[in-house]
Amino acid sequence: MLYEVSNIQYFLNICNYGAPQIDGIPGPETTRCIRTAQGACGLEQDGIWGPLTEACAAGQISAVQRQLTEAGFQTEEDGIAGPQTWENVKAFQRMRKLDADGIIGSLTSAALFGGSSSEAAALRWFGPDEFKCACGCGLDCVLELKQKTDRVRDRLGLPLIVSSGARCSAENAACGGVPDSLHLTGEAADVYTPGMTAELVDRIAQIAREEGLGTIRYYDERFVHLQTWLRDTIA
């Protein structure tokens, strides 16, 4: 048995079997959540963490760890739930603009294990809402921009986060965009990778140019503006 009490509590939280406090101390709440997990595994719900329960948990956690690594968040696939897996689930949720609670509910599960919409399937690295206007109006970027940005992400080999995609006029004014911004027509998106450096600004811009996108490099703010109109400048 490799799971200590805290690992069990991480597992129960991550895999959505209730949210016992992660304190390494056994108690009635942890036992209750173990029973829920055992039910989902088709095991006897005695609330006792035995080899069968642990095997079922390890299988689920391994699958989560594999998908996190696939999504760009390197996670050791040891089948043991712990702080690294928990933090990477939250980082994945932030990237997909989901509630970053570290719990794999239905939305996170769909995002992590495969989207449902056909366009989401066409884009390997981005969910259906990641390029949409931040105000919630539903304005989206054009497919050409999304597909090319998806290829940039693929070649970059690092998480690529859309900080600003399409912008309606209200949103564009609110975030200080220029009046003729290509964000207004969904033909531009600003992207960055966590731990962005000047070298990464250059690398992302270089790949984007090769994929047929125009770029504006923001070295100070550490992001790259990508657009469908071919033009390369420095902010």
- Contact footprint for Zn ion (CB under 5 A): 133, 135, 137, 168, 171, 188, 190, 225
At 123, which amino acid appears?
A: L
DSSP state of 18: -
Q: Which is nearer to Zn ion, 12 or 133 (CB)?
A: 133
Burial of 115 (0-12, 13-18, 19+ CB in 10 A): middle
Least Å from the CB of residue 164 to Zn ion: 6
CA angle 138, 141, 143 (to 5 degrees): 120
Structure tokens at 129: 């809402």
To Zn ion, the closest distance from the beta carbon of 228 in angstroms equals: 12
Nearer to Zn ion, 6 or 218 (CB): 218
Q: Look up residue 228 and give its DSSP letter.
A: S
Nearer Cβ to Zn ion (79/177): 177
One-letter-per-residue 3-state SS of 164-209: ECCCCHHHHHHCCCCCCCHHHHCCEEEEECCCCCHHHHHHHHHHHH
Q: Which two tokens stand for residue 174?
A: 């609110």
Indicate the residue among 156 and 168 with the shorter CB distance to Zn ion. Answer: 168
Least Å distance, CB 186 to Zn ion, is 11
State the nearest-atom distance from the C-beta of 62 to Zn ion, in Å: 39
Closest approach of Zn ion to the CB of residue 168, in Å: 3
Q: Indicate the residue among 20 and 165 with the shorter CB distance to Zn ion.
A: 165
CA–CA dist 203, 81 (Å, integer):
34
